[in-house]
Structure 1
């Protein structure tokens, strides 16, 4: 097995373990140990620091992956690539830091109702952003070196486990909240430290500057590509984090804590779509290379149908058992996010079902339109949050996400049809949606039992039996039939 296969397998395992750990951590562990406003503060600090670091990076994280092959030469320390990769973003960090410090009155004005909680940590964001920036650059360097599984483990598993430990220490009274926040920030410094030690261990910590680095690729080319990447990265970051920041600014940190917990509960829906996209990306790129639009259109339809089957099942499973899920948290105040969970899941379901359209665009000759779509989605998301959060609270933020996701996916689907005459929908999709509605209704009609756990088990059993049975009877999704046949041939008693 080659290095790419090994790294790919490790990354896949780490990704799913990390996703599951992150879900359990953020949806259950932290809400049990921290108050909503405390969770809201930590999420706000992280989101501000992440945006801060992204702007300061000047897109050089993407530059590191895209252009490193031109510099690769271990004997010469890769022509001084690492000092260049770190150096220009450090200049950017200095500029952004000056703007952040000068803009303190403006930022604090947005959170004036939470000044007592936010003010003590305003300057700590500088350190948090610095460590976030350093880690992201070192991560891109290691990915270019084909050592991506190490950083994936550090961030997706190591940091989350340590966060749980810190939360338990705080919950048991061994740390004050102030100490918890500082220790939480220190985790980002720890990530940088272990990454540097790993680079030293594998002999790739080349920090000596080399003038030859400017002769390998023109600086103008690197900066230009970085600018394009910055716009793309920032639009994606705004899409994923602006709702959290705006909830904190327009309501309070307690609402942010409730909202982010709801958002993480809804992320369970993302798991099958991420798995599907990992397969879809290289396949679509290969189809474009071969100009095989017929096979691409067939894959587009099959991926959409399979995504609908899996997405509807998970959405119903979560939605029907929200009482049980919030009961595990054990704090009634978090249950205020139940409607937000449903709206966010609807947005993720629509995005997941039609999500291959974005991959088709980004791998196509018209890939630059993907940036236009992302920027449009960012603008729509900000505007809808501004309009809907004041009258509707966190429900408005979730509704804004749903509407924005729906609008942009309609636009992307239309673009793929208009440009390449491909669309993913068929009568089978309507049949799957009808089956999902019937199965959901059957499970919803299950009476509530004295035990929430038994209610969850019974509803899940009815949902699974009805949904799976109808899919098999109607052959709405041939992949389900094939899976059932393989399972029977392997486990059926002869």
Structure 2
């Protein structure tokens, strides 16, 4: 078994463990240990600010590193001085970003209408600067390790260890071992520990080469790397804005407590996108290979099949989450968080549409017209900012979720039209309509089930009704030939035994 395959298996296992820990953190632990304002400050303001600062400082060099490392590989023991070249410009960029964040502190603070929120952020604002540096160093070292095909330890540190350290800090605060300010410092310290551990790991495998060399600039010109990094910065920052701007604007236009409640709603809806992300990891390389071979027939077939699979899984998960929100918020056991119920439903709708049509973005990004992907991403980021600015004051948390949903639906309609117009590819057929019809019937029937005395009984009744009707409808309407084939093979095996 090759190193890439072994690392892939380990990373998959680590990812699922990390997701389980993340779900437990979001639903069972952090909302019970911290107030909504405290969650809004740390995960809703400081982390997004630091993430944006880290990406601007890095100037796309994490992506540039993975793109250009093959030219440096095996150019001597130190890979031609690649690692110092990877770190140098971002470190200079961080000095500039840190200065801008420091000078811009009064401007950021004045965005918060509530005096208590402004004071809370002001007393912890500088932590975001240090956090940005830790996130930037961690992302650069992670990119370097990916290029070296050493990804498991980095995945463990970021997916599992980091989340456990954050929970540990929250427990220490809730038990009064540390103050809230010390908790915020520990929150930042967890990211710093990850960065330090990655440095130690690089040293342990003999790949920590910090001495700069002029030879690195002869292998690939710095101007070329900066140009590619700038392009990737624009692409990546639009995605970061999409993921974080709604929570930031909820905090500024409403309150930090509202930002914390909205962040929990966002995390609940994120469970829907997990199967989509798993598919995209395979889809990117496959579609790139189809473009290389010029095999449009295979691409069209993959486009249809992946859309059908995403629709099949997405509808079931969206209905399962939406029908059982009372149970999920009951696990949190904090009534104030249930205000985010309508936001969860709108976020689920937007993410379902994005998942069903999501492969179109990969087709654009890997196509000869790949630069249009940047246009779509920037347009999406602008749309999200504008819609949030208008809708949050009018509709509160539901306004932020509606802005996100409307932007995702609009951009995916545009992307789907673009792929169909330029390449003659569109993934929709009668099976998609049948899946949606089955989902509507199964979901409507489960929703009409009577409320029982126990939340767990309600979960079993609604979840069981949805599962049985949805599975039966899919099989009877023959909308999933892969599932039908699997059941046929299982029957054959049982008959032989």
On whether the aligned pair clears a TM of 0.5, the verdict is yes
Please say which of residues 430-439 and 15-24 is displaced more in the overlay: 15-24
1:334 to 337, 344, 364: 337
Larger mean CA deviation between 412-421 and 296-305 belongs to 296-305
1:186 aligns with 2:172: no
Moved more, 346-355 or 138-147: 138-147
- In 2, Cα distance between the equivalents of 1:351 and 1:473? 27
Query: Distance between the aligned counterparts of 2:118 and 2:278, measured in 1?
Result: 42
Per-residue CA distance 1:85-110 (angstroms, 9 max, x = gap):
11111111111112111112111111
Give the TM-score normalised by structure 1. 0.97
Asked whether 1:251 is paired with 2:254, we answer yes
TM-aligned CA deviation for residue 394 of structure 1: 1.0
Compare 398-407 and 88-97 and name the one that shifted more.
88-97
Change (3 A) 1:223 1:455: same
Q: CA RMSD of the aligned region, Å?
A: 1.4
**Which residue number corresponds to residue 31 of structure 1?**
31
> Where does residue 148 of structure 1 map in the other structure?
151
Task: Give the count of matched residue pairs.
Answer: 494
Q: Is the 8 A contact 2:27 2:331 kept in 1?
A: no
Q: How does 1:205-244 map to 2 (within 5 A)?
A: 205-244=208-247
1:361 pairs with 2:364: yes
Q: Which residue of 1 aligns with 2:266?
A: 263
Q: Contact between 2:199 and 2:208, CA under 8 Å: does it hold in 1?
A: yes
**Pairing 1:113-152 to 2, within 5 Å after superposition:** 113=114, 114-152=117-155
Distance 2:493 2:255 in 1: 54
Give me the whole-angstrom Cα distance separating, in 2, the residues matched to 1:457 and 1:248.
36
Moved more, 279-288 or 69-78: 69-78
Query: Structure 2 unaligned runs (5+)?
Result: none
Aligned to 1:77: 78
Establish whether residue 67 from structure 1 lines up as the match of residue 68 from structure 2.
yes
Aligned-partner Cα distance in 1 for 2:207–2:17: 28
**1:247/1:219 Cα in 2 relative to 1: closer, same or farther (>3 Å)?**
same
Using the TM superposition, name which of 405-414 and 25-34 deviates more: 25-34
Kindly indicate whether residue 440 of structure 2 is the aligned counterpart of residue 442 of structure 1. Answer: no
1:400 is the counterpart of 2:371: no
With over 3 angstroms needed to count, the CA separation of the structure-2 counterparts of 1:80 and 1:249, relative to structure 1, is: same
Instruction: Tell me if the contact between 2:113 and 2:253 (Cα under 8 Å) persists in the aligned partners.
Output: no
How far, CA to CA, are the matches of 2:328 and 2:12 in structure 1?
A: 27
Distance 2:291 2:434 in 1: 31
Change (3 A) 1:423 1:21: same
Distance 2:282 2:297 in 1: 18
Provide the C-alpha distance between the structure 2 equivalents of 1:169 and 1:74, rounded to a whole number of angstroms: 48
Aligned 8 A contact 1:27 1:262 in 2: no
Tell me, yes or no, if the aligned pair for 1:111 and 1:248 is still in contact at 8 Å. yes
Instruction: State the 1:194 CA deviation.
Output: 0.6
Which digits, 9 at most, give the CA deviation of each residue in 1:377-408, with x for residues without a partner?
00101000001001111110000000000000
In the alignment, does 2:467 pair up with 1:464? yes
Equivalence for 1:427: 430
Distance 1:169 1:252 in 2: 26
SS of equivalent to 1:123: helix
Question: Secondary structure at 2:451's aligned position in 1?
Answer: coil
Deviating more after overlay: 70-79 vs 426-435: 70-79
Counterpart of 1:372 in structure 2 is 375
Distance 1:94 1:491, change over 3 A: farther
Moved beyond 6 Å, runs of 4+: none
Of stretches 483-492 and 57-66 in structure 1, the one that deviates more from structure 2 is 483-492
Correspondent of 1:162 among 152, 165, 181: 165
Moved more, 301-310 or 159-168: 159-168
2:66 and 2:143 in contact (8 A); partners too: yes
How far apart, in 2, do the equivalents of 1:396 and 1:266 lie? Answer: 16
Checking the alignment, whether the CA contact within 8 Å between 2:124 and 2:181 is kept in structure 1 is no
Once the two structures are superposed, residues 136-174 of structure 1 have per-residue CA deviations (whole angstroms, 9 ceiling, x without a partner) of 111111111111221111001110112122222222332
Give the alignment partner of residue 301 of structure 2, picking from 292, 298, 311.
298
How far has the Cα of 1:22 moved from its partner? Answer: 1.5
CA shift in 2, pair 1:487/1:246, >3 Å:
farther
Mapped contact 2:63–2:229 kept (Cα < 8 A): yes
In structure 1, the residue matched to 2:59 is 58
Find the counterpart in structure 1 of residue 14 from structure 2. 14
Q: 1:112: how far off?
A: 4.6
Moved more, 283-292 or 328-337: 283-292
Distance 2:122 2:331 in 1: 33
Partner of 1:109: 110
Shift of the 189–75 alpha-carbon distance from structure 1 to 2, 3 Å rule, reads: same
Shift of the alpha carbon at 1:74?
Answer: 6.3
Report the secondary structure of 1:122's partner residue: helix
